[in-house]
Amino acid sequence: EPEVTQTPSHQVTQMGQEVILRCVPISNHLYFYWYRQILGQKVEFLVSFYNNEISEKSEIFDDQFSVERPDGSNFTLKIRSTKLEDSAMYFCASKERGFFNEQFFGPGTRLTVL
């Protein structure tokens, strides 16, 4: 069964460093998403991406964040200058066209900012 994959599974970085989290969505999916979950809290929407552009973003998704689909298969989330409070689990998701289709989530990348 096709699945969303994410790399790395765990990333440790120093405050102020740039990180890139990578996702490979399911191949025929058209909508792509990033979410984050701070330890012990709920999953929060960050951004949705369709047709090579951001379609929706939350207030969390500020200028420090960017997304890209560089080669038609990968979908990346970049955090330019990490802060301690960026430490969280980051989930990628993808979805087929259609309102009644579910989002498929990847296993997540745990980001630890020291």
Partner 1 sequence: SQQGEEDPQALSIQEGENATMNCSYKTSINNLQWYRQNSGRGLVHLILIRSNEREKHSGRLRVTLDTSKKSSSLLITASRAADTASYFCATDAVARGGYQKVTFGIGTKLQVIP
**Binding residues for partner 1, per CB under 8 A?**
31, 33, 35, 41-45, 48, 50, 55-56, 89, 91, 93, 95, 99-100, 102-108, 110
Give φ, ψ of 59 to 5 degrees: -70, -20
Q: Of 29, 21, 22, 36, give the one whose Cα is nearest residue 3.
A: 29
Q: How far is the CB of 81 from partner 1 (least distance, A)?
A: 26
In the bound state with partner 1, the residue whose beta carbon lies nearer, of 79 and 92, is 92
DSSP tag of 85: G
Cα separation of the two ends of the chain: 37
Q: Of 31, 32, 60, 30, give the one whose Cα is nearest residue 45.
A: 60
In the bound state with partner 1, the residue whose beta carbon lies nearer, of 17 and 101, is 101
Q: How far is the CB of 48 from partner 1 (least distance, A)?
A: 6
Dihedral over alpha carbons 96, 97, 102, 108 (to 10 degrees):
50
In the bound state with partner 1, the residue whose beta carbon lies nearer, of 65 and 91, is 91
In the bound state with partner 1, the residue whose beta carbon lies nearer, of 80 and 86, is 86
Q: How far is the CB of 103 from partner 1 (least distance, A)?
A: 6
